[in-house]
Structures are given as structure tokens and as C-alpha cells.
Structure 1
């Protein structure tokens, strides 16, 4: 029996066949069960912000686990309060901000859904979201996700959510005083790292504010410094009513949060939401340490610099497949001229490079925020080889027809 047999027999099939069996990680590298090393430019889908087995992460897990791991939300703990204060400061909520802790991005977005309902009540039953958006796979967050194919097996959805195009005109046309909230991703990661139109967030802030609707920004993939700011909304110079965060804030430890601003911070009251494990001292201590290290090492600047470096390296690759890059900082979508992204991912893995295809014509690159010159040079070589191999295969297939 192989590990593939074990996985096929024992794990649910919703993820499909596992692509490798990893047993160890260090920095930007992973090792599989056969001892082969891989350069990791996926980082657990924008999760391992500091890379694998970073000393700060390891120390935070070990020291807090040896001190206090869980007490429930009937009680407060120092790590919980410290992380809440840090998130408020980094997001710029001011004193009026509040933080709800969850265990994942989907749970953070579930809390955001409830926040919208509390704000809207019976008079504002409408919630707006964008087509091709992705906010999670729970029944609540799936209702917010603008991908009909994902919703189809689970219909009917929770009512009240409407999907609009990602333009200010579409928002203006859809908006009225019965809308409770608009929820948006600043960059649509699962749609292929698709940027919102220039000026969209500023327009969305003005339109929602004018109609008394909440603006909720899903920063789960874009937060924790990935785009070169702590949160992507900060590039637009606006103040939302709430943001959701997860993934990179924990550096590999499962944690999510809803961060509220101003009057939205007063909407939850005792009994309206909760989580047994949300905000436990182990998770919050690790996330606080990860964010502190991102801040100490100035990894926001590194994300900006290295993201530009990666884009320049890709531009130098002479490949007929590449059409250009999207995204910001170290959230990079490489557009392809043909629907061969999954072939590129497999070719890259065969050469020791881990990347990802969110759709058929996009390759996603989300390496650790502390990535450096050596890793980027290695990436450029491996990625160019993978692109060349797929381009050759595509030519051979055409010639055989």
C-alpha cells in the first residue's frame, strides 16, 4: 500500500487526489516522503507568511502550548487581548474598533454575514456581492460566493444575496436603501488574481456610505502584508466598516478574525455569535508573534520589492504562453494565453517547484513574505523550464492532429 492508497481510502474526496506527501519544511522549501526538495511558491495558499518552521513561529507555539492553550470565551487571556489590539492598530480602526476571533477565513466571513444581517434587520434584506467572488465553502459563505458552479450541488442558497459586476456603475444601479452591505475582495484570488477596476473601492465606499450600507472587505488572501500594505484596502485610502482576515495572520496556525470599525463595532451583542475555539490563547499568541515579526522585519516593503522582482523575472522569460501578470505585492497571477495552467503546475512540480492554478488560464504565485534573491532566481529557472515543457507539449499535440 502507498500513501496515495491510504489517502484515497481514508480521506474525503472533496479535494481530489493529493499531489504529494510532504513531511518537512524549512524556510521556502518542502521535502516529500522520498526526500526530494521543492521550492514552495504557494505557501499553503498565502498562509505560511514566514515560510516553514520559522523560529518565531516555532517558539510561539511551544511557549504558549506549555503555558495555556485553551480556556473558552467565557474568559479573557493576554494573547487574545494583545492580538486584538495589534489588529486594530494595523487596520487603523481607532479606539472604536472591535475584533471577533474565529478559526478560519470562512468562519470570519460567516461572522461578517451576521454583521450585515444585524445592520440590515428586516428593513434592509439585500446583500450585494461580486460575480466570480469567493468567500468560503460553508453554506453561509457559499451564498456570498459568486460562482454558480460551486453553489449548484447545495441549492437552495441562503436568500438575500445578489451578485453584480465589478464596476462602480453596476453598484450604483443595484444600490438602494434596502441594501444592508456590500462584500468585496480587493483582489479576486480564486477567480485568477483579478484586480478590481481602478478607483472601485473609493467609489464603493462613497456609494455604500451614501445609502447607509456597510462596506465589508474580505482581506483573507490579501491581508497580513501580502500586497505591500497591511491590508489591501489601505492602498485605496478608504475606511471600511469591517474586514475579514485569516490565512497569513497565523503563519500556518488556523485562525481568522472579523475586525470592525466605528458604529459597526456595536452591532454584535451577547448571544448573537460565538465559537468554542475562536480566539484561544494558543492561536492568538502565534498570530500575534507572526504579525510582530512581519512588522519587525519590514516584510511589507519586502512584499512590494520582491513582487516587482518576480514580475520582472517573468517578463524576461521568452514563452508564448505568458500574457502578463496581475495582482499586487506577493500575490501574483500569471495570465496564460491558453487553458494549460494545470499542465504548468504539474510540470513545475516535476521540476521541484510548487505553484497553483486557480483556474485554467492563470498560475498563482504566493510565496512567503520573506522570500529573497536566491529563491526568486531559482523560481525563475524552474518556472521557465516548466513553461517551455508545456509549450512543447502543446505544439506536439497540435502537430499530431
Structure 2
């Protein structure tokens, strides 16, 4: 398990909320930041602040080195073949929209198919809805099992020679399901389709390898993996990216501009118009350093053990319903506590210093599939402990008792 010394490197955790020590269990929404990341961003603004790829002065050179250095760190972290395959974006949402807006129209036409699942986050659903509407393509859904998992035999029949894009989350932000992305990629490729992977919930919690998964596009967010908000990335196979047109135009993404036409820079800069998120990239680089120091395999083992412990403790609460598979690989557990509304559960827990998420989690079609309006969600990360789970369970029992008394 992760040591207490790791937890102590996150200053935000050393505070009281409503008179109780903070127990932060909303990591699927955003992670907290270690001192190493905070200090890296602070140092950039204090010593290196300048625009990149422009000035020949010292600050400009140092800023460019830090920005491009972060790209190279991310390339190695996810095992992309080249740093040219790493496009910095504002996050997963922007990355997925870039694929749908730039690659999509040239790849999909009337009569073609786009295959997704009902459990996708809206950022990996709405772009494909809109692409299907614009092109006349058909949106198809992979069948889900009762626990939210998918069967490869269903994928074999759903994905056909008419399928051009398969889009799926590696890990569900609600169900905690880890999908067989490598096998799905192989099926998609046999039919001539590309696979687009939402890696927002997988990249922070397990080792990901673009060469092993063989996905064509992979989107991620920095703020879910200890980095600042506003920074993320799109990985794309070089040949696919080179065939795509930019969707944002302006400074820094051009090669030559005339009065009536323009040409674009080479990868990756043709997709990074304007002043980029430099400080965010610096923070992302520091976050990657931190994660590698701890070890992604160790983080995965810690979360898997913590999720198993949490499942066991929560299952003992009478009237509590959990959604998703048992023995999950990541620390995302979604539940409802009897007839108590999830927002009421979250409010009472907050009064006891415990931060969880309540709502539809940007997955309204999944809520309808589950036949609920919303759920509560506890999500764990490397700095959470069994003590955090114990406090969650104790607070849920108090919550249940409180509403039982209120309802008479």
C-alpha cells in the first residue's frame, strides 16, 4: 500500500472541513496536486515565464524547453512512438472533439457506422452524435451486461465492415468498468475502422501503452493525474494526424501565410494554434515525474486493494446498492443509499468532512439504463487509505440513521 509519506505531499489534505479532517473521495472529477507540481508551476511563473517557440531570448528558450520537455515526458509515459504524436489540448473533451471535428468528416459518410456504448461520458458521446447528424452516419451501441461490462462476442457482431469509428472509455467514470480496449482495437482494425479511446479515467491509475493497446487515438486530462486544470493531450498515430486538417487557426500553427491561402506547420504544432497552456504543460511534466517515482504498478495495486476493501465495507450497509462489477481494477464505486437522494447523501457527508460526487456524472443515458435519476460516487487515488473508507462507511451509516429518523 502507498505510504503515509506520499499522502503528506498533498498540502490540501491537511485541513478541516466543517470541523472534520478532509476525506477527499472525488478523484474521478479531479485529483489533488502534490507540492512537486505546485512548486513546478510556481517556479515557471517566477523564473521562466515567456511565450514559447518565438523569442530567442533566454526566458523564451527556457520556456520552450520546459514545454517541449513535458511533451517528451508524456510520450514516454504512454509509450507513443514519437513526441509528434502528442497534441497538447485543454483536456479530454477538447481532444475528443478534435478527432470528431477534424478526422470524423473525412472518414465517415452516409451509411457508415460509429460504435460507442451507453456508458460514455458526454464528452465521448455528443461529438459522435453530432458527427452522425452531420454526415448521415448511424450511431450504434455495444450491448451492456448487468454489471456494465461488454462481451467481445457482442463487439464482434456490432462492429461491421460499415463501422468507421469505435469510441469507448478505457475505464468508466461511473461504473468503474475497465474495458478490453486492446481486443476491441483488434476487432475494429479487422473491419477497417479506427478506435478512439477516452483515457481520462485510465491514465492516472494504471500503466497505459499505446503500442500494446494499438489504439488509433487516445485522449487524456492532466487534472485527473495530479497536474493543473486546463491541460490535456490527444495521442494519435502519426499517419492519421498528418492527414487531418486543423480546426483552430491563428498564430504558431502556420508555416506560410499569403493573402488568399496558408500552409500549416508539421506535427504536432499545426494543432496548437495560439499561445499554448505552457504552465499547465510544466505542471503535467512534474506530475508525470511524481507518478513515475511512486510507480504506476504500485498505484494500480494500491487502488485495486482499496476498491476491494471499500466494496466489502459498503456491501455490509443494509439498503445500499452498488453499480458496476465486483473486483474492479480502479477505485470508482457508484452507489445509492436506499431512497435517500444522492445530493442529500453528499450534503450530509460534506458536513462530516467527506467529499464525494452526486448527480448524473455527465452520463445521462447510463442513468436511464440503470433506471435511476442520479447516483453517489466515491472515487479513490494514490493518497487515499483504508481509514478514508472507514470514515465514509461510518458517515453513510449516520446518514441512513439521520434520514430514517427524519422520515419517521
TM-score relative to the length of structure 1: 0.72
| Aligned position for 1:345 | 346
Structure 1 residue 179, shift from structure 2 partner: 3.0
Q: For residues 126 and 70 of structure 1, what CA distance do their matches in structure 2 show?
A: 45
2:207 is aligned, of 224, 229, 232, to 229
| Aligned position for 1:335 | 335
Aligned residue for 1:187, secondary structure, equals coil
Structure 1 stretch displaced more, 66-75 or 124-133 = 66-75
Structure 1 residue 356, shift from structure 2 partner: 1.2
| Aligned position for 1:365 | 378
| Aligned position for 1:109 | 96
**Contact map agreement 1:86 1:288 (CA 8 A) in 2:** yes
Q: Which runs of 5+ in 2 are unaligned?
A: 1-9, 56-62, 144-149, 249-269, 361-372
TM-aligned CA distance change 1:170 to 1:299, over 3 Å:
closer
Q: For residues 90 and 142 of structure 1, what CA distance do their matches in structure 2 show?
A: 29
| Aligned position for 2:253 | none
CA deviations 1:26-83 (Å, max 9, x no partner) are: 2435556x7764221214x4432xx34x221122111111344453677892223222
Q: For residues 113 and 177 of structure 2, what CA distance do their matches in structure 1 show?
A: 25
1:284 is aligned, of 281, 284, 308, to 281
| Aligned position for 2:231 | 255
**Contact map agreement 1:331 1:364 (CA 8 A) in 2:** no
Q: For residues 194 and 29 of structure 1, what CA distance do their matches in structure 2 show?
A: 28
TM-aligned CA distance change 1:335 to 1:282, over 3 Å:
same
Structure 1 residue 332, shift from structure 2 partner: 1.7
**Contact map agreement 2:11 2:35 (CA 8 A) in 1:** no
Q: Which runs of 5+ in 1 are unaligned?
A: 1-24, 146-150
2:391 is aligned, of 382, 396, 400, to 382
Structure 1 residue 122, shift from structure 2 partner: 4.8
TM-aligned CA distance change 1:142 to 1:339, over 3 Å:
farther
Q: For residues 22 and 191 of structure 2, what CA distance do their matches in structure 1 show?
A: 50
Asked if 1:210 corresponds to 2:228, the answer is: no
Aligned residue for 1:66, secondary structure, equals helix
| Aligned length in residues | 346
Q: For residues 97 and 118 of structure 1, what CA distance do their matches in structure 2 show?
A: 23
1:195 is aligned, of 177, 190, 193, to 177
Structure 1 residue 169, shift from structure 2 partner: 4.7
Q: For residues 363 and 300 of structure 1, what CA distance do their matches in structure 2 show?
A: 28
Asked if 1:391 corresponds to 2:400, the answer is: yes
| Aligned position for 1:28 | 13
TM-aligned CA distance change 1:325 to 1:312, over 3 Å:
farther
| Aligned position for 1:243 | 218
**Contact map agreement 2:111 2:137 (CA 8 A) in 1:** no
Asked if 1:63 corresponds to 2:63, the answer is: no
Aligned residue for 1:243, secondary structure, equals strand
Q: What's the RMSD between the two structures over aligned residues?
A: 3.7
Structure 1 residue 118, shift from structure 2 partner: 5.9
Q: For residues 401 and 247 of structure 2, what CA distance do their matches in structure 1 show?
A: 60
**Contact map agreement 1:294 1:300 (CA 8 A) in 2:** no
Q: For residues 108 and 12 of structure 2, what CA distance do their matches in structure 1 show?
A: 48
Q: For residues 172 and 330 of structure 1, what CA distance do their matches in structure 2 show?
A: 26
Structure 1 residue 210, shift from structure 2 partner: 1.1
Structure 1 residue 141, shift from structure 2 partner: 6.0
Aligned residue for 2:229, secondary structure, equals coil
**Contact map agreement 2:166 2:196 (CA 8 A) in 1:** yes
| Aligned position for 1:5 | none
Asked if 1:267 corresponds to 2:267, the answer is: no
Q: For residues 243 and 76 of structure 2, what CA distance do their matches in structure 1 show?
A: 20
**Contact map agreement 1:216 1:240 (CA 8 A) in 2:** yes
**Contact map agreement 1:143 1:158 (CA 8 A) in 2:** no
Q: For residues 99 and 339 of structure 2, what CA distance do their matches in structure 1 show?
A: 34
Structure 1 residue 87, shift from structure 2 partner: 2.0
Structure 1 residue 183, shift from structure 2 partner: 0.8
**Contact map agreement 1:129 1:164 (CA 8 A) in 2:** yes
Q: For residues 321 and 306 of structure 1, what CA distance do their matches in structure 2 show?
A: 25
